[in-house]
Amino acid sequence: MSNLQNEIKRRRTFAIISHPDAGKTTLTEKFLLYGGAIQTAGAVKGKAAARHATSDWMELEKQRGISITSSVMQFEYDGYCINILDTPGHHDFSEDTYRTLMAADSVVMVIDAAKGIEPQTRKLFKVCAMRNIPIFTFINKLDREARDPFELLDELEKEFGIGTYPINWPIGCGVSFKGVFDREKRCILTFGEPHRNYQKSDAVKCDITDTEKLDELIGEYQRAELVDQIELLDGASFEFDIDKVRNGKLTPVFFGSALTNFGVEPFLESFLKMTTSPLPRMSGEDIVDPFDENFSAFVFKIQANMNKAHRDRITFMRICSGKFERDKEYLHTATNKTLRLSQPQQMMADDRHIINEAYAGDIIGVFDPGIFSIGDTVCSPKKAVKFAGIPTFAPEHFCLLEQKDTLKRKQFVKGVEQIAQEGAIQIFHEPNSGMERVIVGVVGVLQFEVLEYRLKNEYNVEVIRNNLPYQYIRWITSDTDPSKLSITSDTKWVQDFKGNNLLIFTSEWNINWALERNEGLELQDFSKN
């Protein structure tokens, strides 16, 4: 087997998704801790003196205690090269998560054991299901009071229409949480000493048939309850089928506590064995094999000002095939021009280092002088491919944005345009008007707060924001002349900065009104980019 094949085979690229506060970022920290990528796990929330989570690199994330933007982290563990994509859990930043899922080969879904499936988890699962992405479930926070595990499995199956297979089973919860039963090894894992927060501890193993030792470790009552539950589980649960797992039809379920480290390392080890190396991707009708020696990649994220000292702009690419080599020329299919990808880097959130090579499955960051857009393909000139673009979803909230100081127009325009190119916001203007008055559309209202914060702190521009009553936007896909449309007074014709014509509406009634009174008008609720 060639070195290229070996390197690609050991790659694992996955995203972590959850509802806010389910413990996703804490779990990510523990993965990094086990991989030796960090020495101390950081608390997402806590005292001012505590470390912040590695993946929460943006200043506002550290202040708010939530993930606002996706982070990329690479580390080595047990012979695997792992690329983790940590995504925002909050609904208001879901479009960033959607794009990030396009770069993942599998997904770890973190669920709070007390709350079960929450709205954002439901929404993100649907995106995974659309792509048949393998899903691995980590039911977290067993160190707190939790719902009945059978009830949680039932909810997963009913809500998502997916089979579940518990790899382990919890023994109690909260103050009575004693460990887990490993279904494959048929023994329990419990801890012989406190294991809070930062330290790894050795598990104490005990076979489920060793009644005397089990009574000593977890007590007679919990031992009897565990035996009954395992008997029920073995008789009633789905059969394990790795093909169903890899096609997104069966989710392996793990129970544990990311905060106390319990169950994290066994989960990571099992997950790495069950998930796959990089998967093939479609380029039109053609399949792009990850083991093809010709390099190909697509842009799924752009982030300006990660380094305050340099005010740079980094484009994140998911490598889909072959090997990337520094200083080689590659084809940018959007412009049909060859280029050298400048300052190629690999990431640990905002920490980065220059690399000379990378392989299919890896995420690399390159310096972007302003030529890349989300969804762009970069590939070897020897074998041109073009991956499907990443859709731009319709914003649901709108505002009119103006700079307070008219002398800072240049900084205002630059800031708004750069943040829009990242995909965090969408910007529009009324035809024949300039950039003094920009209409901003976002998926969630917290994005407005992030926008104002970033304009002030990264571009030194204070703005005036006036919220607008519009709730719906549609791209005009027919050849209709927008200036001659019959529309209501509370519908507005706008253009995006690619020159596409759109209509924004205050209600669905207005959408239907416009369609009924304008013959041939065709509208679409997302752009094909």
Who's near 467: CB < 8 A, 6+ residues apart? Answer: 397, 398, 399
Helix (H) or strand (E) holding 166: strand 163-166
Q: Considering the entire predicted model, what is its pTM?
A: 0.79
**Cα 47 to the center of its chain, rounded Å:** 27
Pairing of strands 80-86, 11-18: parallel
The tokens 């706008």 sit on which residue? 494
**Cα 22 to the center of its chain, rounded Å:** 14
β-bridge partners, 83? 13, 74
Q: How crowded is residue 516: how many other Cβ atoms within 10 Å of its Cβ? A: 10
The pLDDT tens digits of the residues spanning 145-174 come to 999 999 999 999 998 889 999 999 999 988
**CATH number for the domain running over 14-70+105-274:** 3.40.50.300
More confident residue, 116 or 100: 116
pLDDT at 61: 43
The pair of three-digit structure tokens given for residue 108, joined into one six-digit string: 């770890």
pLDDT category of residue 382 using cuts at 50, 70 and 90: very high
Coil, helix or strand at residue 434: coil
Distance CA 256, CA 140 (A): 5
pLDDT at 83: 92
The pLDDT tens digits of the residues spanning 205-260 come to 788 888 898 888 888 999 899 999 999 998 887 899 999 999 999 999 999 998 88
Domain range annotation of the chain: 14-70+105-274, 281-379, 392-527
- Does residue 92 surpass a pLDDT of 60? no
pLDDT at 350: 55
The CATH T-level fold of domain 281-379 is Elongation Factor Tu (Ef-tu); domain 3 (2.40.30)
Is residue 302 classed exposed, middle or buried when 0-12, 13-18 and 19+ CB atoms within 10 A define those classes? buried
Distance CA 411, CA 86 (A): 31
Average pLDDT taken over every residue of the chain: 83
β-bridge partners, 10? none
Q: How crowded is residue 87: how many other Cβ atoms within 10 Å of its Cβ? A: 29
The pLDDT tens digits of the residues spanning 402-460 come to 999 888 889 999 888 888 887 778 899 988 776 667 999 987 787 888 889 888 988 89
User: What's the Cα-to-Cα distance from 457 to each of 60, 197, 239, 423, 460, rounded to whole Å?
Assistant: 10, 33, 54, 19, 6
CATH class of the structural domain 392-527: alpha beta
- Does residue 361 surpass a pLDDT of 90? yes
CA-atom Rg of the chain in angstroms: 25
- Does residue 196 surpass a pLDDT of 60? no
Q: Which of 151, 145, 97 is nearest to 444 (CA)?
A: 97
Distance CA 353, CA 72 (A): 13
Segment 10-38 mean pLDDT: 83
pLDDT category of residue 67 using cuts at 50, 70 and 90: very low
Distance CA 320, CA 287 (A): 11
Who's near 483: CB < 8 A, 6+ residues apart? Answer: 431, 493
pLDDT at 89: 45
Distance CA 282, CA 292 (A): 13
Distance CA 459, CA 411 (A): 6
pLDDT at 373: 86
Is residue 449 classed exposed, middle or buried when 0-12, 13-18 and 19+ CB atoms within 10 A define those classes? middle
